[in-house]
Amino acid sequence: MTILLAGDIGGTKTILRLVDSAVHGDGLPTPTTLYQETYASQRFPDLVPMVQTFLAAAETALGSRLQVARACFGIAGPVINNASELTNLHWSLQADRLEQALAIPQIALINDFAAVGYGVLGLTSEELYPLQVAPIDRQAPIAVLGAGTGLGECFLTACRGHYHVYPSEGSHADFAPRSPLEDELRMYLQAERQLSRVSVERVVSGRGIASIYQFLRQRSPEQESPALATVFQKWQQEQAQGHSTIDVAAAVSKAALEGHDPLCTQAMQIFLSAYGAEAGNFALKLLPYGGLYIAGGIAPKILPLLEGGEFMAAFKDKGRFRAILEQISVQVVLNPQVGLLGAALYAAQEIP
């Protein structure tokens, strides 16, 4: 038995998972979960006491002493030279310090979206929802992008049966409007946010949905429903007070799914079109015949809207290169803990 520790570290919560990893033949490791727990990140001054608390609870639950061979933590922030500074948590993490403090021989720190990239390798068909079916080339690149609070992008390449994830900052490339209305949105965001340019992430993200809705309600105030007007006004009041309990993006997408709010429906159509166009741009740059995966927290919640046509229409709307994009498998990741799975796979397969 090889015991591994995987973690998904965020500013609000941290999920830790203890796994037994076994390799069958030349395939991927198969991590079996032994114990898992979620902690409020702010309750701990550092990762070390949190892991110590977790391991003590795991030993009690499993009834035996544990020796962790390797660990990998996916971190919501930049990782440089196996170290990371988490501003929201005021944590300063260095792999060598963690190895010594926790008596774990090997620890790796990776970006949380890179962990998602590794995680897609271990997903089952039940954890994926196909938007476009196409043959998979196991030697070709794999593309992963996912809208949540922001927009993450990464890609994988295969070498001698193993995959390596490469991060990307593609979400911060320029947003390219594809219609007069999208161009109005770009100019609105520049003026409203006092920006010299607008990135893709400003539109394709949870915050982007809120911005799109704000743009539309100012453009056509007579179309706003009383229910969403109340939600938005309360959100604005809370923002002015420096906090927010309201998720405007969730309210807009929920109303669009229910089909009774034309302004919310239009907002989600703009979002999905921009999302699909960015996915198509990413695919043209990588030619990911190994598959393109839509991760992030938003996609699984709006599957009926993703099937509605705007996303895939924009994905394939690349002129004479449409035929190329029709040959790429496109699937939505349904597993909300794909990053945790990726951290476990990295610990099993990638730490030298």
Let me know whether 202 and 302 are in one domain. Answer: yes
- Do the beta carbons of residue 334 and residue 128 sit within 8 Å? yes
Tokens 């609070």 belong to residue:
149
Say whether 269 sits in a helix, a strand or coil: helix
Number of neighbouring beta carbons within 10 Å of residue 123: 18
Confidence tier at 241 by pLDDT (50, 70, 90): confident
Q: How many domains does the chain have?
A: 2
Residue 301 lies in a domain: yes
What is the C-alpha to C-alpha distance for residues 209 and 186, in angstroms, rounded to an integer?
13
Let me know whether 198 and 93 are in one domain. Answer: no
Let me know whether 321 and 183 are in one domain. Answer: yes
218-228 pLDDT, tens per residue? Answer: 999 999 999 99
Q: Residue 307: pLDDT above 60? A: yes
Let me know whether 221 and 305 are in one domain. Answer: yes
Let me know whether 185 and 290 are in one domain. Answer: yes
341-351 pLDDT, tens per residue? Answer: 999 999 987 55
What is the C-alpha to C-alpha distance for residues 317 and 181, in angstroms, rounded to an integer?
17
Q: Which residues contact 82 (CB under 8 A, 6 or more apart)?
A: 94, 95, 96, 108, 109
Q: Within a 13 Å sphere around the CA of 147, how many CA atoms are in the beta-carbon half?
A: 26
Residue 58 lies in a domain: yes
CATH of the domain at 106: 3.30.420.40
Let me know whether 344 and 278 are in one domain. Answer: no
Confidence tier at 106 by pLDDT (50, 70, 90): very high
Quote the domain boundaries for residue 309: 171-333
127-146 pLDDT, tens per residue? Answer: 999 999 999 999 999 999 99
**Which backbone phi and psi does 34 adopt, to 5 degrees?**
-100, -40
Tell how far CA 328 is from the center of its chain: 20
Let me know whether 180 and 59 are in one domain. Answer: no
- Do the beta carbons of residue 174 and residue 213 sit within 8 Å? no
Q: Residue 153: pLDDT above 60? A: yes
Let me know whether 179 and 257 are in one domain. Answer: yes
Residue 313 lies in a domain: yes
Tell me what the mean pLDDT of segment 4-24 comes to. Answer: 89
Confidence tier at 24 by pLDDT (50, 70, 90): low
What is the C-alpha to C-alpha distance for residues 352 and 349, in angstroms, rounded to an integer?
8
The rounded mean pLDDT for the chain is 93
252-293 pLDDT, tens per residue? Answer: 999 999 999 999 999 999 999 999 999 999 999 999 999 999
Token reading at 313: 């229409």
Residue 311 lies in a domain: yes
